[in-house]
Amino acid sequence: MSQQPVRIRRALAAALCLSLIAAACGSDDDEAATTTAAAATTAAAPGTTTAASEGTTAETTAPTSEETTAESTGDTTESTTEATTEATTEVTTEDTASDTTEASAAAFQVPTDNCPADATEPLADGAPIKLGFIGPQTGPLAAFGVIGQGMKVYFDKINKEEGGVDGHPLELVTKDDAYDPAKSAPAVQEALEGDNIFASVFQVGTPNVAGTRQLHADACVPQALVGTGFPAWGDPEHFPWTSGGIPSYTVEAKVWVEFIKEKFPDAKKVAILTFNNDFGKTYKTTLDELLPDEGYEIVADVAHEATSDLSNEVTQLLAGEPDVIIGGTTSTFCTNLITLARQGGFTGPIINSYTCQSIQQFMVPAGEAAANVFTLVVAKDPSDPSYADDEGVKQYLEDVATYGPGIDAKVGNVFTGYNAAFMVVDALTRASAMDGGLTRANLMNAFWSYDLQTPIAIGGIAHVDGVTDAYISEFGVMSEYDPAGQTYKVNDGVEIDVEGQGGVYSG
Amino acid sequence: MRSLPLVIERRSTAHRSLQLLGVLVAFAFYLYVVGVVENFSAIRWAVAVTLAVAILGLNIVTGYSGQISIGHSAFFGIGAYTTMILIADHGWPFLLTLPVAGALGFVVGAVIGVPALRIRGLYLSLITLGLALAFPAIVKSDNFFGINFSSLTGGSNGKVISSGDVTVKSGFHWNPPSWAPDGWTTNDWVFTTVFAIAIVLFALSSNLVRSRVGRGLVAMRDNEIGAAVSGVYPAQYKVLAFATSAFVTAIGGGCFALASTTIGPDTFGLQRSIEFIAGLVIGGVATILGPAIGGGLGEWLPYWAYEVDWPLLGKLEGPQSGILYGLILVVIIFFMPGGIVYGLRQLRSKFIVFVPRLPVPQDISAVGAAARAAAAGEPRPDSIDPVSPPPDDATASVQ
């Protein structure tokens, strides 16, 4: 990034009572373990570590060595133990692919005792690596199907330019479940048994993932980088074969509360709108807990159905005369909320879910009403002119033009797929170098040990270690949207880096 | 050498042999799914069978009783959730959950049938539409008349049971029993169970529509006033039609829970209801085999539309497969307006025609003689009802 964003030191750790990862300051293992254990208080917020103490006592060498390597190359993204009451945040700009190559000592090992033999057998030389994308290709959410297109572009690029990974060409297998969890199970079964996929990537839909978790675990096939932010996917102890790929909604809600405190210190009354499903309820639960603790009054707490046009709900929100409105919803509901709230006379700030950050799809249709709207921007939008010179975006646009002519590269979901494929290739490369070669077990271990800067991420490092940090994407910039320029004012935004503080799912 | 079409009397030996042939075809189909089809497709066949059962239920109320219901997804969901909750949370054996699911469906169906007494046709459909829309919302709600449904049903997260054959934590297994042939997988056993239940329900429905009650329902559909005058009590029959139909659909839902192992609230919304209606119409309204075909197409047609590799076009991408699906439905209805079963019947009628067995004519000569004797010389017309007793006074003999 060319300009220094405004940094605000924040007392996230103290305020949110999250544990900090053992620092990259070279502290010895025992100290790291006790510090983590001591700091693992989980008072207010769900999704923070309780399993950390058990985990760290078992594997204390690898996490610190990873961080030490990161530190010595000049990049720090974790909070240090020295500043237990503050979290300093810094943005790294240099490194591209992960280069922490303690390939043999992966931080986390999936248990393989109950697995069929092919979980630990290396893939035959030259055999294709089949990656499954099971998601909605038809039905009301078919727009997510283009994620598969983005994935294919990147896989084709790697196949053409590098001959695949470790000599294995990459093959994408897509299955349709029309976003219906009842159709996911047969689709996954077919992918597992009929196509014999090596791993499933970026499966979409919280109930769809929940319903097929056990199928993947039984077959010992990675269900990696799932495209839902439900916090339960950060549970490597109970479901090691499932890992999340997008920021957790719990973490996002916490970020909102902190942001309101910082940016709108005079605000007292908050109105909340959430989608009446697990996605919205995750927001609601976190907000309902945190806001009163911080002294805010929740004047309206409304949940809406998928069939609503929001006019009733917005009337309820505005009736409480809030200072801030929080929209824990997605898709065109965000646009409706903004338009209707402004029409109703509300001029205050509106906070938007990060799932709505697509400028073309959700912000432009709101027009001028989208001023004074804030979102946790986590991804670079390919249609945003301010990223025209960004390396990652330029490469992506080139690759789509070369390997996927006819695909509209400006659609954010295509970039999402491309990015997911980027992360998969990184994991495959690391897994091939591990002891035992490219096996499903090693691949899952690689999925639990990321330390990577991705092309789509606005900043920060994608990091998990499967032991104390189970959430991969915990960086964003709370930015105001600029309707005139149709862009986010990221440079004036508030950077949030809670990398590692999401901890591990604690049920 | 006989010329076509063959005329076969019902209940004759020829008819019975053809029926036996039908049973053998069904059995051959069963063996095909269990033996030949790949394991992961067998489970799709199981789901198709459960959809067929659901449409069978819909057929009772819409096909035979003439009350259009676009709310049957709710009964399907009630059955599925009942089975899921009892298995996953309370450890009940699967077969015991089916009567409970059916009973619950029956009760709710009866309740829905009550407005049907006052409202007809499209207006009744609106009420059932409301049911289809309300069901997913109720399932997800925290507080509906004081009941926290979402904690009971898992809310939008849905519910999962595992019918896998590995010993894992989820607890429920529907594994083949020890006496099953070797090589049978869980999916095969699930299909067997579901198929057996479907056969029983289809047989019962077939008997229902041929019985007095069934004739009453059809009469009520075709001419309500005439039926009422003839002794078909509309209130009772309408409510019972809804209740029975919901009972069958709910059992289909219970089987669906077993076959698909994971359900969510939006699985049972308006789209599912429309799928049922479409399946019923495509299969053949007011036939017994129609629902079976409708269920099969409802499961497989979208899948084929998406997966098939066309010679010139390749695989259709995403929403384009929806266009193909719609096109196929339109073509079927265009060429076979009554549905596939009616189309097949027309085809069959070129080769075989079934005629009802005529009643044996009775000997009326004795009755006639007695009547003539009683009437003392007055001429009696020939068209005397041989069943009614002879008149016992002179004036009654004048017709």
Closest CA to B190 of B256, B143, B92, B120: B256
The answer to whether B262 contacts A180, with C-beta atoms less than 8 Å apart, is no
Tens of pLDDT along B175-225?
Answer: 777 777 777 888 889 999 999 999 999 999 999 999 999 999 999 999 989
pLDDT at A11 over 60: no
- Separation between Cα atoms, residue B271 and residue B276, nearest integer Å: 9
Per DSSP, what are the bridge partners of residue A274? A303, A328
For residue B302, which residues of chain A lie inside 8 Å, CB to CB?
138, 178
For residue A278, which residues of chain B lie inside 8 Å, CB to CB?
155-157
Chain mean position to CA B156: 29
A364, HSE (Cβ side, Cα atoms, 13 Å): 10
Confirm or reject contact between B185 and chain A (CB < 8 A): no
- Separation between Cα atoms, residue B306 and residue B325, nearest integer Å: 9
Nearest to A278 among B155, B160, B164 (CB): B155
| Residue B5, preceding peptide bond in cis (omega within 30° of 0) | yes
Closest CA to B385 of B364, B370, B366: B364
ipTM, 2 decimals? 0.76
The answer to whether B267 contacts A193, with C-beta atoms less than 8 Å apart, is no
For residue A112, which residues of chain B lie inside 8 Å, CB to CB?
none
Per DSSP, what are the bridge partners of residue A328? A274
Residue B103 exposed, middle or buried by CB count within 10 Å (0-12, 13-18, 19+): middle
pLDDT of residue A418: 93
CB A431 within 8 A of CB A439: yes
At residue A335, the 3 state secondary structure works out as helix
Nearest to B263 among A178, A181, A212 (CB): A181
For residue B158, which residues of chain A lie inside 8 Å, CB to CB?
181, 207, 210-211
Q: Which of residues 216-255 of B touch A (CB under 8 A)?
A: none
The answer to whether B266 contacts A180, with C-beta atoms less than 8 Å apart, is yes
Per DSSP, what are the bridge partners of residue B160? B262
Name the more confident of A168 and A500. A168
At residue A172, the 3 state secondary structure works out as strand
- Separation between Cα atoms, residue A36 and residue A22, nearest integer Å: 6
pLDDT at B21 over 90: yes
For residue A413, which residues of chain B lie inside 8 Å, CB to CB?
none
- Separation between Cα atoms, residue B352 and residue B10, nearest integer Å: 12
First to last CA, chain B: 49
Most confident of A38-52, A176-190, A374-388, B270-284: B270-284
* pLDDT level of residue A8 (50, 70, 90 thresholds): low
Q: Which residue of A has its CA nearest to B264?
A: A181
The answer to whether B47 contacts A186, with C-beta atoms less than 8 Å apart, is yes
pLDDT of residue B195: 96
Residue A264 exposed, middle or buried by CB count within 10 Å (0-12, 13-18, 19+): middle
* pLDDT level of residue A92 (50, 70, 90 thresholds): very low
For residue B164, which residues of chain A lie inside 8 Å, CB to CB?
214-215, 218
The answer to whether A114 contacts B166, with C-beta atoms less than 8 Å apart, is yes
Interface test with A, best of B157, B274, B307, B325 (most A CBs within 10 A): B157
Per-position b or e across A307-345, b if 16+ CB within 10 A of its CB: eeebeebbeebbebebbbbbbbbbbebbbbbbbbbbeee
Nearest to A211 among B38, B155, B158 (CB): B158
If you average pLDDT over residues B67-82, what whole number do you get?
A: 94
pLDDT of residue B367: 77
Nearest to B267 among A180, A206, A217 (CB): A180
Element (H, E) at A393: helix A391-403
CATH 3.40.50.2300 fits domain A117-247+384-448 = yes
* pLDDT level of residue A182 (50, 70, 90 thresholds): confident
For residue B321, which residues of chain A lie inside 8 Å, CB to CB?
137-138
Rounded to whole angstroms, what are the CA distances from B40 to B20, B37, B240, B260? 31, 8, 39, 11
CB A253 within 8 A of CB A302: no
Mean pLDDT (chain A) is: 77
CB A273 within 8 A of CB A317: yes
pLDDT of residue B378: 58
If you average pLDDT over residues A268-290, what whole number do you get?
A: 89
- Separation between Cα atoms, residue A430 and residue A419, nearest integer Å: 17
Q: What percent of chain A has pLDDT over 90?
A: 30
Residue B104 CB contacts under 8 Å (≥ 6 apart), including other chains: B78, B79, B82, B250
- Tokens for A426? 């990184």
pLDDT of residue A69: 33
Interface test with B, best of A203, A214, A330 (most B CBs within 10 A): A214
The answer to whether B39 contacts A193, with C-beta atoms less than 8 Å apart, is yes
Per DSSP, what are the bridge partners of residue A271? A300, A325
- Separation between Cα atoms, residue A243 and residue A224, nearest integer Å: 5
Closest CA to B342 of B254, B280, B271: B280
Q: What percent of chain B has pLDDT over 70?
A: 90
The answer to whether B267 contacts A182, with C-beta atoms less than 8 Å apart, is yes
Q: Hey, where are the domains in chain A?
A: 12-108, 117-247+384-448, 250-377
- Separation between Cα atoms, residue A390 and residue A456, nearest integer Å: 10
Instruction: Please give the angle made by the CA atoms of A392, A395 and A399, to the nearest 5 degrees.
Output: 140
Q: Given the DSSP bridges, would you call strands B6-9 and B352-355 parallel, antiparallel or unpaired?
A: parallel
The answer to whether A182 contacts B302, with C-beta atoms less than 8 Å apart, is no
The answer to whether A184 contacts B262, with C-beta atoms less than 8 Å apart, is yes
For residue B155, which residues of chain A lie inside 8 Å, CB to CB?
277-278, 281
* pLDDT level of residue B258 (50, 70, 90 thresholds): very high
- Separation between Cα atoms, residue A149 and residue A128, nearest integer Å: 19
Q: Hey, where are the domains in chain B?
A: 33-298, 365-397
Nearest to B168 among A194, A212, A218 (CB): A218
If you average pLDDT over residues A86-97, what whole number do you get?
A: 33
Residue B325 CB contacts under 8 Å (≥ 6 apart), including other chains: B301, B302, B305
pLDDT at B168 over 60: no
Query: What's the pTM?
Result: 0.74
CATH 3.40.50.2300 fits domain A250-377 = yes
Interface test with B, best of A114, A180, A204, A330 (most B CBs within 10 A): A180
pLDDT of residue A159: 93
Mean pLDDT (chain B) is: 85
CB B270 within 8 A of CB B133: yes
CB A363 within 8 A of CB A383: no
Tens of pLDDT along A428-482?
Answer: 999 999 888 899 999 999 988 888 888 888 777 777 777 777 777 777 888 999 9
The answer to whether A182 contacts B264, with C-beta atoms less than 8 Å apart, is yes
CB B33 within 8 A of CB B45: yes
For residue B260, which residues of chain A lie inside 8 Å, CB to CB?
182-183, 185-186
Residue B197 exposed, middle or buried by CB count within 10 Å (0-12, 13-18, 19+): buried
